[in-house]
Chain A
Amino acid sequence: MRGLMSVTEPLLKVENLKKYFPSRKGLFARTPSPVRAVDGIDFEIYPGETFSLVGESGCGKSTTGRLILRLIEPTEGQIWFQGNDITALGRKAMRPFRKSMQIIFQDPYSSLDPRMTIKDIIGEGLKRYDNLKPQQRRDMILEMMSKVGLRSEHYNHYPHEFSGGQRQRIGIARAIILNPKLVVADEPLSALDVSIQAQVINLMQKLKHELHLSYLLITHDLSVVEHISNRIAVMYLGKIVELASRDQLFSQPSHPYTKALFSAIPIPKVGQRKQRIILKGDVPSPINPPSGCRFHPRCHYTQKICAELPPALKEIEMGHWAACHFPPHE
């Protein structure tokens, strides 16, 4: 599969993507410096792959997801979907692509309209995009419901009658009914209880194979990332600091931030505690990110150049990229 990737066309390609949000610092600030939520990132997602963006709050991972779906407009950069530049497409021209790109949200409580029944929520996309007879639509909705493990008698129920895990199943059914190619899943598990998370992870994996989906998984949960990703990009303050296949990243993390992130995962086993790398300080503000390497004020390996020159994302081995002047190898 990995060998194939180099020859297949990417499903999605992102080039130098940037999103600056205007920030107002008080009433009289003349030139407010923007919040650099996403600050020049490049990556590709191949058909059938799960690509994960991981990072802590404020690193720009969710903004990236929204940019790709064109829910917000990029400040700079290009987004290619199936070989087409969709960055500047208008509403009408975007329509055929919207069908192929869907999203699953974090909060299964606020992302479903409480006044709509399950059939309306799941079938809403069909109404917009396909001219189906009522009977056909009903059949498709019921088919989706059974695919995600909802019983047919729930057809006319309302969201409040469901538990968190079931609501997330409804959100998933709504996302896949239009037969998308790419599903952006923005923290799909973090609102769920531990025993329910496994159910939803397995469902997402099953659907990926059945429907040949690609996922862009946006999450802070590294255990889940390792379980279901093919490739992973680690973000820090709007930049990708490391990008690699799952095995490369978890066996040979290269960037000091990735290492610290991995060492901070609590492992549910006794006596397995690794040497934990405790980072200094908080994540700096994306309004005024540190000069040079954005991680340098918290890094244990900082040298003079780190504060001066931003490191480029370099390929350190086949398919494994890291943005560090001194990638510490084990």
Chain B
Amino acid sequence: MNDILLNLINLETVFQTRNGVAKAVNGVSFHIRKGEIVGVVGESGSGKSVTALSILRLVPAPGRVISGKILFHEEDLLQLPMAKMRQIRGDRISMIFQEPMTSLNPALIIEDQLIEALVTHRKISRSEARNRAIEMLRLVEISTPEKRIKDYPHHLSGGMRQRVMIAEALLLNPDLLLADEPTTALDVTIQAQILDVMYKLTQEMGTAVMLITHNLGLVAESAKRVEVMYAGKVVEEGPVADIFGNPSHPYTKGLLKSIPVPGQINGEGDQKLYEMKGIIPSLFKLPTGCTFHPRCPEMKSICNQEHPPLCTVSPGHQVLCWHHS
């Protein structure tokens, strides 16, 4: 139990709007161990980003966490006073966002953005902070960091900005890094560079990573365990080899079958891709019973009546489905 860094217990985050209540995160429980890379995969609206924002208590209004626990170092973040929470953000838990241009301040040079966190959290002098920042930029493989630190974000390419974001996120040596689609806005060859740097540094520093992505390939390559989310719930979780080798939820199975995999095509002619029917349900009006039942090829009569139970497939591999009960 001691090596568990983060433990989400039955987290529920809702958005109260004029059109009703959207259940963005609908009872999510999972944990991340110290230094572990956990992949959280899902499509738009699955609740993966809102889960990350809930952990930092940064859910934008009108959203709010209505129940559950977020245990970080066995302390419930939801119960902390705001001042204490601010100390944790950026220091113990940091976050990288998808679009680096919108998360860097366009009016500040890189130096000012980087040392802000250091000066706030560490009570060190500006010049010392600057040296630490330059060192960090060197670690994320930015060439001539002492010059680059005087640049504004618009001087940098997309890949460079994301490197700066990683430097900023890891500057205080956090215990947990929430990486929300960190490479989605980047080209594939740049994506490879960025992930390479991110994993190298977090491994060296012993930082756990929660990698939020829609790209199953990224998760297969790097994560140790995987949480598959659908419509605000974790529908399957397990070690990466089990999720990809023995997917057990019909949604996970469908997702894996519907992606074209390079190197799988032989010979001439077109091959039809597996098609998951239907669309992602509206969070305002979730289907009854199992939220996946309208799209499920294996639906039974009970599936649209009652919530499915969490069943164990193998040690550590669990699935939210009536077929395994």
Contact = CB atoms under 8 A, between A and B. Distances in A.
Interface residues of B, number: 46
B262 A250 contact: yes
A201 B279 CA distance: 15
Residue of B160, B190, B240 with highest tally of chain A CB at under 10 A: B190
Contacts of B258: 194-195, 197-198
A202 B272 contact: yes
Contact of B272 (A205, A220, A261, A272): A205
Contacts of A205: 270, 272
Interface stretch (A84-92, A150-158, A179-187, A221-229): A221-229
A197 B44 CA distance: 13
Contacts of A220: 187-188
Contacts of A262: 262
B271 to A, nearest CB: 7
Contacts of B87: none
B189 A261 contact: yes
Given A196-B279, A205-B272, A267 B190 contact: no
A82 interface: no
Given A194-B259, A195-B258, A201-B273, A265 B187 contact: no
Given A260-B189, A261-B188, A270 B275 contact: no
B255 A266 contact: no
B240 A198 contact: no
Interface stretch (A5-13, A93-101, A107-115, A276-284): A276-284
Nearest to A282: B157
B273 A194 contact: no
Contact of B273 (A56, A202, A276): A202
State which size class the interface on A falls in.
35 or more
Contacts of B309: none
A197 B275 CA distance: 9
A283 B190 CA distance: 9
Interface in B180-213: 187-193, 196
B263 A250 contact: yes
A223 B217 CA distance: 11
A198 B279 CA distance: 12
Contact of B265 (A165, A226, A260, A282): A226
A210 interface: no
A252 interface: no
Contacts of A261: 188-189
B27 to A, nearest CB: 22
B160 A194 contact: no
Nearest to A208: B270
A26 interface: no
A303 interface: no
Contacts of A304: none
A279 B220 contact: no
B262 A222 contact: yes
Contacts of A282: 157, 159-160, 190
Given A222-B262, A266-B215, A269-B261, A195 B192 contact: no
Contacts of B255: 194-195
A290 to B, nearest CB: 16
B240 A222 contact: no
Interface in B217-241: 217-221, 240-241
B265 A270 contact: no
A268 B244 contact: yes
B43 A268 contact: no
Contacts of A269: 220, 244, 261
Interface in B116-174: 157, 159-160
B275 A266 contact: no
A220 B160 CA distance: 20
14 contacts: A1-B268, A195-B43, A195-B255, A196-B279, A199-B275, A205-B270, A224-B260, A226-B262, A260-B189, A267-B217, A267-B221, A268-B220, A268-B256, A269-B244
Interface of A: 1, 56-57, 163, 165-166, 193-199, 201-202, 205, 209, 220, 222-224, 226-228, 246-247, 250, 260-273, 276, 278-279, 282-283
Given A194-B214, A282-B157, 11 more contacts: A56-B189, A195-B254, A198-B274, A205-B270, A224-B260, A226-B265, A250-B263, A262-B262, A264-B192, A268-B244, A278-B193
For the complex of A and B, 4 pairs with smallest distance between CB atoms:
A266-B217, A56-B187, A198-B258, A227-B260
